[in-house]
Structure 1
Amino acid sequence: MKKSVPFARRFKQVVSGALIALAASTVMVPVASAEEKDSFKLAWSIYAGWIPWKYIDESGLMKKWADKYGIEVEIVQINDYIESINQYSAGQFDGVVATSMDALSIPAAGGVDTTALIVGDYSNGNDGIVMKGSSDLKDLKGEQVNLVELSVSHYLLARALDSVGMTESDVTVVNTSDADMVAAFNTPEVKNVVTWNPLLDEVLTMPGANRVFDSSQIPGHIKDLTIVNTQTLKDNPALGKALVGAWFELMAEMGTDSEAGQKARAALGEASGTDQAGYEAQLAGMKMFWQPADALTFIRSAEAVEAMDSVRQFSFEKGLLGEGADSADFVGISLPNDKALGDTGNIKLRFDTEYMQMAADGAL
């Protein structure tokens, strides 16, 4: 297996996402300017759950579905994950890939009404806490923990500590770039890290390393989404149909051992700096929704509501909802089955199942 390169998901999030989004809002295209059009742009960054957009683009699947609805969709790779969300927030893209936490804390908190069009997967072991010389999470008390501050790693730590009756005040968080994480853990001074794959697998190969908590213990909390501007989607339903149609056509192939599925996984492994086996190892740490019905079942569940509530509470506690937020209710989140979290008069993040339902019904 080739050595994989660090995926660009969830990095450079050391500054409050809401502040970044607010800065971007000074050049933001007003929502009211959205209108019917026939050309769109989607931004993506490298992570196992998002790189399928590259294959969708290069295989011709996107063109096939765009042609069906008489539109054009340009799929653009952005190497800096947070910057891609900033550019989306500023109106330079109609859609982007993001975790649910970043979708809330950057565009939604910045005032950009955003729809989660595709719920692609959730981390199911790809994010974890590793301790050197101990396998007991409680031994973190009084210790330093290295992680990318204000990222989903920070969130994972908070949930892990809560599971053993501890809080962040019981540890000292040391902000560490993902690029430096493996090297840091290889020094005697750094004993505890929180990171994501492929870095997670690398640190676990080191002597004395123990995985003490991972995202499989909080299923559904770290979700990977394809999000789009709500007004743009409302004015251009063809965009939603084309994106969802192309995505789930590929998923139906990728989730099988067919020749087409293996070809796609091999191509995506090479594109992400590894090989087919390396890419499949990444997929193993995720709960992929190969079929739209599976995504629908999850996002309509009580567990999905609880997970999103936990994420918004953490985001508020860390100041990610902006200086004007006086509670976690500041930004409203709409969920399926007429459920909502927060201020229903300020809904800025919407989990809209209309298009995934169309895919499940074979109606695209």
Structure 2
Amino acid sequence: MKSLSTITKLSKLAVLGAGLLATPVAAQEQTEFNVAWSIYVGWMPWGYAEDTGIVDRWAEQYGITINVTQFNDYVESINQYTAGAYDAVTVTNMDALSIPAAGGIDTTAVIVGDFSAGNDVVFLKDAQSVADIEGRRVNLVEFSVSHYLLARALDSVGLSERDVSVVNTADPDMVGAFQTDDVDALVTWNPMVSEIAALPDAVPVFDSSMVPGEIIDLMVANTDVLSANPDFGNALAGIWYETVILMASDTPEGAEARAAMGAVSGTDQAGFEAQMAATQLFAEPADAVAFTSSPDLGKTMDLVREFLFDKGLLTPNATSSDAVGIELPDGTILGDPNNVRFRFTTEFMQMAADGAL
């Protein structure tokens, strides 16, 4: 999954504290919007749409301007969004809750784009199953989705984090670390997964396909900005679905798009398509609506918020996982109804499904 190599518990809490101290500013109608994205298979369409004029075409349709900026540092893109420099950002469900939402920034998931279906993997050496992880030092990016995947893997065999030792490791160091004698357990995401899987002693014992629908990739926007400017959400949905339908198509144009996205992400068309195969991409808006409307989403967000509370990442003073409210598409609220800061909506995806954009 995305790079969280600069994250530590202390820096996370610093971001949250800054958000809590920020003075809310009422959003107004505006004509120019800033969108941030970072490199990952499920978010490459945003860069391609910018490069090929799809962004400008949809923005012009709604009489607005949308500036799309690529960040090499995933965490920095979220921090910049949380600080108000950007109106929307690509982010996972876990990080949307733990950084902007927990930091006091009311945030809405405009596009539910995909979920990881094998892009995130637990690797062991000299092992046959995930149960063999007991007693080992596990290298991963602490407090990232890799940490969450480890928790789910341990739970699947009746273990807990007390049964292992977590070693915080930067994502660029993962492949090299696994090739040393000191490392025999590791959790990471693509493209590192593909490189490690090719090593002769790497045994994949658990991956995100075993917890389907839990590691979700989103385009979120500031709720106040979105409420004051619904055409911004309409344009984002139009951009996304035009681009992903093209990307997923079995056509020369689709192959060209996949090759271009692969090149930008540091691989080739075949490598990019391998990552796509480990991603449940919602190219059709109706599929995204069905996933987001499912009761399973509430169950997933319960797991996520419990994990974040356990790690001390739901505001510094949280006394339970209810500290930050999460609103689901049917209006159900998980947590504090007086502090709803993370919302899921099907509004814009449904408009795309209805051909109403």
Take 1:170 and 1:158, find their aligned partners in 2: how far apart are those partners? 11
TM-score scaled by length of structure 2: 0.97
Q: What amino acid does structure 2 have at the position aligned with 1:155?
A: Y
Alignment check: 8 A CA contact 2:123 2:187 kept: yes
Take 1:13 and 1:163, find their aligned partners in 2: how far apart are those partners? 26
Residue 18 of structure 1 and its aligned partner are, at CA, apart by 4.6
Take 1:227 and 1:361, find their aligned partners in 2: how far apart are those partners? 21
Residue 117 of structure 1 and its aligned partner are, at CA, apart by 0.5
Residue 33 of structure 1 and its aligned partner are, at CA, apart by 3.2
Q: Does 1:123 align with 2:116?
A: yes
Q: What amino acid does structure 1 have at the position aligned with 2:28?
A: E
User: What does residue 182 of structure 1 align with?
Assistant: 175
Alignment size in residue pairs: 357
**Match 2:25 to one of 8, 32, 39:** 32
Query: Structure 2: where are the runs of 5+ without partners?
Result: none
Alignment check: 8 A CA contact 2:112 2:217 kept: yes
Alignment check: 8 A CA contact 1:34 1:231 kept: yes
Take 2:18 and 2:266, find their aligned partners in 1: how far apart are those partners? 32
CA deviation profile, 1:238-275 (whole Å, cap 9, x unmatched)? 10000111100111111111122111111101111111
**Match 2:40 to one of 27, 38, 47:** 47
- Assess, with a 3 A threshold, how the Cα gap between structure 1 residues 339 and 16 changes in structure 2: closer, same or farther: farther
CA deviation profile, 1:203-253 (whole Å, cap 9, x unmatched)? 122222110000000011100000100000000011000011110011111
Residue 27 of structure 1 and its aligned partner are, at CA, apart by 8.2
Alignment check: 8 A CA contact 1:254 1:261 kept: yes
Residue 20 of structure 1 and its aligned partner are, at CA, apart by 3.7
Residue 98 of structure 1 and its aligned partner are, at CA, apart by 0.4
**Match 2:95 to one of 97, 102, 105:** 102
Residue 10 of structure 1 and its aligned partner are, at CA, apart by 3.8
User: What does residue 3 of structure 1 align with?
Assistant: none
Superposed, 1:51-90 pairs within 5 Å as: 51-90=44-83
Residue 9 of structure 1 and its aligned partner are, at CA, apart by 3.7
User: What does residue 343 of structure 1 align with?
Assistant: 336
Q: What amino acid does structure 2 have at the position aligned with 1:122?
A: F
Take 1:27 and 1:323, find their aligned partners in 2: how far apart are those partners? 12
Q: Does 1:245 align with 2:215?
A: no
Residue 361 of structure 1 and its aligned partner are, at CA, apart by 0.5
Alignment check: 8 A CA contact 1:8 1:79 kept: no
Q: Secondary structure at the match of 1:242?
A: helix
Take 1:119 and 1:291, find their aligned partners in 2: how far apart are those partners? 11
User: What does residue 304 of structure 1 align with?
Assistant: 297
CA deviation profile, 1:281-314 (whole Å, cap 9, x unmatched)? 1111110000111111111112221111101110
Residue 114 of structure 1 and its aligned partner are, at CA, apart by 0.3
Alignment check: 8 A CA contact 1:18 1:109 kept: no
TM-score scaled by length of structure 1: 0.95
Residue 110 of structure 1 and its aligned partner are, at CA, apart by 0.3
Farther-moved stretch of structure 1 (202-211 vs 184-193): 202-211
Percent of aligned pairs sharing the same letter:
53
- Assess, with a 3 A threshold, how the Cα gap between structure 1 residues 355 and 334 changes in structure 2: closer, same or farther: same
CA deviation profile, 1:50-77 (whole Å, cap 9, x unmatched)? 1211111111111111000000000001
Take 2:225 and 2:12, find their aligned partners in 1: how far apart are those partners? 22
**Match 1:199 to one of 184, 187, 192:** 192
Q: Does 1:209 align with 2:223?
A: no
Alignment check: 8 A CA contact 1:298 1:304 kept: yes
User: What does residue 350 of structure 2 align with?
Assistant: 357
Q: Secondary structure at the match of 2:95?
A: helix
Q: What amino acid does structure 1 have at the position aligned with 2:9?
A: V
Residue 163 of structure 1 and its aligned partner are, at CA, apart by 0.6
Alignment check: 8 A CA contact 2:142 2:169 kept: yes
Q: Secondary structure at the match of 1:260?
A: helix
Q: Does 1:295 align with 2:280?
A: no
**Match 1:12 to one of 3, 6, 9:** 6
Q: What amino acid does structure 2 have at the position aligned with 1:244?
A: A
Query: Structure 1: where are the runs of 5+ without partners?
Result: 1-6
Superposed, 1:231-270 pairs within 5 Å as: 231-270=224-263
User: What does residue 4 of structure 1 align with?
Assistant: none
- Assess, with a 3 A threshold, how the Cα gap between structure 1 residues 262 and 31 changes in structure 2: closer, same or farther: farther
